[in-house]
Each structure stands twice: as structure tokens, then as C-alpha cells.
Amino acid sequence: MTYLSQPHANRRVPRFRLADVAPAVLQLHDGRRTPTELQVISRTGGLLFLSKPLDHGTVVELMFQTHKGPVLGTAEMLLPVTCTQQPFRFLALPESDQSTLQAAFQSALYRNTDEEEWIEEFRAAAVVNWNPYPSKHFFRAVVAAAIAAILCLGSAVYVFSIRLK
């Protein structure tokens, strides 16, 4: 069994959102099994949909199927984020299961949530920086052009009115 080290705090591990529902099973230390659904996965943990969250710190065996094969690892349940969503972190994951997970990540069936977050951040920045009203410089240029056009028109009318007399 390979024990996983946690990544440095300043570097986030890529997370992948599953395109389809991925059924999973949690086996508790007393042998009970709890069905669940895997929503987000990374090489260090993920997010589960549970009918009822487990206690923070509960250690479980997590089993789920990818299109590249089954994955079985030991995980610790973290604090629930909602009444039905609970994150977990892998404590131990055999090397073969790590390889299966990595192969699944490289397919198009998993969407990288980091890329989605980057796109959302880019959109948010664009919305924050978007100004529906023209800038002062643009407004001044339009006014200057209008004044110049009026002066030219007035000059032309004056010149033609002198010639007509």
C-alpha cells in the first residue's frame, strides 16, 4: 500500500469533475457499507455525495469504478461542505490504483475543474473591468469632433452666403 504525502499548501492538485455519475461505496471499520456518488476526484482526494455525512476524521475504505478500472483506497472523511456533500482525502492508495486514476484523468470523460475555475476567474475579471459607459476620453473626443463639424459647417455656410450676395 502506498501512503500519500500531502501537497505543498501553495500548490493545488488538479481536480476533475466527473462527466457521469460515478457510484462509490464506503466501507466503515465495523464492516458496514454506505453507497455514495463520487462528484469530484483528484490524486489526493475528492468530493462525495452522501445521504448523510460521516463524522469528520472517519477512516473508510473507498471503492469506485472508473472507465479505466476499479480504484480502492483508504480515505479520511473531512468536514462536510453541505448536508449531502463531504470531501475526503486519500490516506493510502496502492500504486496500481494510482495508475488507474491517472489514466482516467487523462481521458476526456473527466473535466479539469482548475481549467473551469480559471475560465470563471477570467469571466469575473472581465465583468469587473467592463464599463458599459464610454470613458471620459472617448466622450471628450466625440464632443471635440462635433464642435469641429459644427464650426466647419458654420464656416461653409458663412463663405457661401458671402458669395451669394
Domain that includes residue 41, residue range: 16-123
Q: Is residue 56 part of a domain?
A: yes
Q: In the prediction, which pLDDT does 77 show?
A: 95
Q: Is residue 42 part of a domain?
A: yes
DSSP letter (8 states) at residue 77: E
Q: Which cell numbers hold the place of 104?
A: 482516467
| % of the chain exceeding 90 in pLDDT | 35
Q: Is residue 4 part of a domain?
A: no
Average pLDDT over residues 101-115: 67
Q: In the prediction, which pLDDT does 15 show?
A: 67
pLDDT exceeds 60 at position 6 = no
Q: In the prediction, which pLDDT does 59 show?
A: 96
Q: In the prediction, which pLDDT does 14 show?
A: 67
Average pLDDT over residues 79-89: 92
Distance of alpha carbon 88 from alpha carbon 56, whole angstroms = 9
DSSP H helices, the chain, are: 95-105, 113-129, 136-164
Pair type for strands 85-92 and 33-41: unpaired
Q: Is residue 58 part of a domain?
A: yes
Distance of alpha carbon 84 from alpha carbon 72, whole angstroms = 22
Domain count of the chain?
A: 1
**CATH assignment at residue 40:** 2.40.10.220
Tell me the per-residue pLDDT of 122-142, one tens digit each, with 9 for 90 and over.
Answer: 666 665 665 656 666 777 888
Average pLDDT over residues 40-67: 91
Question: Of 61 and 65, which is predicted with more confidence?
Answer: 61
pLDDT band at 154 (very low <50, low <70, confident <90, very high): confident
Mean pLDDT across the chain, nearest whole number?
A: 79
pLDDT exceeds 70 at position 163 = no
pTM of the model: 0.59
Q: In the prediction, which pLDDT does 155 show?
A: 84
Distance of alpha carbon 39 from alpha carbon 85, whole angstroms = 9
In degrees and rounded to multiples of 5, residue 142 shows phi and psi of -65, -45
Q: Is residue 140 part of a domain?
A: no
